[in-house]
Chains A and B, each alone.
Chain A
Amino acid sequence: MEMLTRPVSGCITIIIAAFTLLVANGAQAERFELGASADEADAVIGCLYPMTGRSATYGRDSIVGIQIALDDLVAETKAGLTPPKLRVIADDPRSKASYAVRLAQDFVAKDNARFFCGIVSSGVAHAVSDLARQEKIIMVGTDHASSRLSIEAGHDYYFRVTNDSWTSMAAGARYLRDLQKETGWKRLAFVGPDYDYGHVSWTDLQLALDGLGVEYETVSALWPKLYEPDYSIYINALQSAKPDVVVTALWGGDFIAFIKQASTTRFFETTRLANFDTGANYDVMMALGDQPYPGLILSARHHNNWPETGRNKRFVAQFHDLTGRYPTYAAEGAYTGVIAIARAIEKAGDADDDRALIKALEGLQLALPEDPPGFASYIDPDTHQIVQAQAVGTVVHNEDFPPSKLMVGNWAIYDAEDLKPSKEMVKRRRDAVAGGSEAVPPPTP
């Protein structure tokens, strides 16, 4: 009755709701199809990257990274070489594991994909990695970073081509060891997102510090949820614990929010804040404005200003030419993923022989933008994790990559071989899972 007596306002409400839904639906990103056509392609790669939501920047940059890789392969063809013709399809898993698995299944069933790539969330990557093992599809992880994926949950079909949480924390532990010699710091705190990546990062850091014989006291370990908007209570708790160094695994907007909120307190006057895996990403550099907060120690999986090699400068310039802006590390990760697949197909000689492809990827050497002079990244045959050098540094004024006014500098460089997990540690972690424990074993005292 109410509806009948108010037909006009009822209709207006329905029209507004329908219009809103239409606009919202129209705002959703469509899937990307890049490279060779379905008829011409030697292999199809199905990639999962966020195109909407808070991580969309990483998805967009990854698509550009893929385009640069495909352009490089076309240039090789024009130069008389015979790289494989690749077709890359990218879609948005919307940070949902079940939806990502459904998309990946469609890649295989409808698009005849022989490879999976991408994925920002470690949780989503776990689900797709399981599917890759079941379907015997090779998965090349380019962004998610939990070392659990390549160590405890590693399998024949899973590979990672950017630094994982172990590599970053191993580099971070070395930086902290050297810093301790200079400053004598003792009190360590950790704050990380309350999901797999955060917890694995903390365990990786402790294992790495213990492996180096660094003596320290853990004064606090805090676990805000992913996408927490208000860090004030955590910042207060950290200040109460009086740490000399706070290491964080917060990333993207969460890390930026933490810095901004901490900057309204005396946090940076009393402690150092280190982020060894994602902190030096270009979106963080932009968000810092012109404020080089004292005590920030940062690194990332790729830097626009390190190494200063022709290969890295060319990659950054290619990205800038295509988009008019500078890349986050996601772009180089996606670039590496496509190049790794192309080189594996070349080496295996057959894009459909999964055993030959796995063999080709194991130990595969790749000359990448983030490789320092004289070194080429390679994929560890045991863990299927790429082995790379890592640079850690502090924030300096640098306006070479506008609009950012700051970049990381004062680099400390750590050799790739030193950052590999030891065979003993890998075995111990895998044995713990085989023994029924889901958790990464705690560091030995």
Chain B
Amino acid sequence: MTSLLAVLIDGSIYASWLFLVAAGLTVIYGVMRILNMAHGSFYAIGAYSAASLVGWYFNNGIGPAWISYLLLVGAALVAGLIVGVIIERGLLRLMYGRDEILMVIITYALLLILEDTMKIVWGVNPYFAYQPYSELGRTSLGLLKVSNYDLSLVGVSAVIGLVLWGLLERTNTGKVLRAVIHDREIAVAMGVNVRLMFTITFVIGTILGALAGALTAPAISVVPGIGIEVIVLAFAVVVIGGLGSIGGAAVGALLVGLSRAAAVHYAPEFELFVIYGVMSLVLAFRPEGLFGRTLARKI
């Protein structure tokens, strides 16, 4: 029973992290039709920025611990905004309208460049910023002691999911974005500034990626390559849920998170297999993903 509870808790925590990463990826694909391989780098940049800032804050004993949580979020917002604007304006804007495969290659090249740039900036040794994680303490759930930081990550993830849903479904900006998703040419004809919408979408996606990295940083060792590992998992999640679907990303994250936790607790040898096993099963029966829509292509 304790083991089952541990699977549910570990799975939910892992799923919330996966959702945070996958949300930005799926938003960018939903609006811009770009399979953004560089999204993992945005996650890593957020993690490095947050770990550096929080590490500096605690090493210098500047102030109370609660400020470190603001620093985490602040680092993600600033890093995501700067990187997002530079990449969208400086690179992607030149490539809009090109084939989706070409965009995958371009963003993959960007991922490689950013990975090496991060090694130059932050080096190759791990960064640890555990203070915000340990400061929140732990809560007893049955026989288990669960980190309050991890539990709060589940809450933050749920809030971000709701905000994204509300933004897309309940605001004028969301309506315009959905119009762009539905038919870009008609949207342009109706006077929608599609380029601006693309910039806004990309920056939101970048900030979400950086935020995922920043909020995860206190729980992990921030090392070179974390962005590449993350992007593979994030793709598995959005493919399971259906590309471009926020709800799908949430369900995909839950499926992957719970499956992995069950594997770690009951059959550790199958840990890596189950993630891609679940993805294969879903794709075998629903190639468009659980919540993906089959789209007619204009020829």
Instruction: Decide yes or no: A229 and B222 within 8 Å by CB, A16-B90, A260-B130 being known contacts.
Output: yes
B63 at the interface (CB under 8 A from A): no
Residues of B within 8 A of A257 (CB): 126, 128, 220-221, 223
Contact between chains at A234 and B264 (CB < 8 Å) = yes
CB nearest neighbor in B for A225 = B272
B225 and A227 within 8 A (CB)? yes
Decide yes or no: A261 and B90 within 8 Å by CB, A222-B264, A225-B272 being known contacts: no
Interface residues on A, range: 35 or more
Say yes or no for A31: interface residue by CB 8 A criterion: no
Given contacts A23-B120, A256-B221, A257-B220, contact A237 B265 (CB under 8 A): yes
For A50, give the chain B residue with the smallest CB separation.
B124
Flag whether B192 is at the interface (Cβ < 8 A): no
B147 lies within 8 A of chain A by Cβ: yes
Contacts of A229 in B (CB 8 A): 220-223, 226, 229
- Chain B min CB distance to A438 (Å): 16
* A109 within 8 Å of B (CB atoms): no
Contact: A265 with B94, CB < 8 Å?
Answer: no
Tally of contacts, chain A with chain B, CB under 8 A? 118
Majority DSSP secondary structure for residues of A touching B? helix
Bound CA–CA A312/B13 (angstroms): 48
Q: Tell me if A79 counts as interface (CB < 8 A to partner B).
A: no
Chain B 129-161 residues near chain A, CB threshold 8 A: 130, 133-134, 138, 144-145, 147, 150
| Contact B124 A54, beta carbon cutoff 8 Å | yes
Give residues 123-180 of A contacting B (CB, 8 Å): none
Is there contact, CB below 8 Å, between B126 and A56? no
Q: Enumerate chain A residues within 8 angstroms of B56, measured Cβ to Cβ.
A: none
With A16-B90, A265-B145 in contact, do A236 and B10 touch (Cβ < 8 Å)?
yes
Chain A CB within 8 A of B288 CB: no
Interface segment, one of B31-39, B111-119, B164-172 = B111-119
- By the criterion CB–CB under 8 Å, are A230 and B219 in contact? yes
User: Does B50 sit at the interface, judged by CB under 8 A?
Assistant: no
Given contacts A20-B117, A236-B6, A240-B144, contact A2 B223 (CB under 8 A): no
B29 CB-CB contact with A under 8 Å: no
A-B pairs with lowest CB-CB distance, top 7: A257-B221, A24-B116, A229-B220, A230-B220, A264-B134, A13-B90, A240-B6
Apart from A9-B90, A233-B14, what 11 extra A-B contacts exist at CB < 8 Å?
A13-B90, A20-B113, A53-B124, A54-B124, A220-B268, A225-B272, A229-B220, A229-B226, A230-B220, A240-B3, A260-B221
Residues on B lying within 8 angstroms of A by beta carbon are: 2-3, 6, 9-10, 13-14, 89-91, 93-97, 113, 116-117, 119-120, 124-126, 128, 130, 133-134, 138, 144-145, 147, 150, 216, 219-226, 229, 260-261, 264-265, 268-269, 271-272
Q: Which residues of A contact B (CB under 8 A)?
A: 2-3, 6, 9-10, 12-13, 16-17, 20-21, 23-24, 27, 52-54, 56, 194, 220-223, 225, 227, 229-230, 232-234, 236-237, 239-240, 253, 256-257, 260-261, 263-266
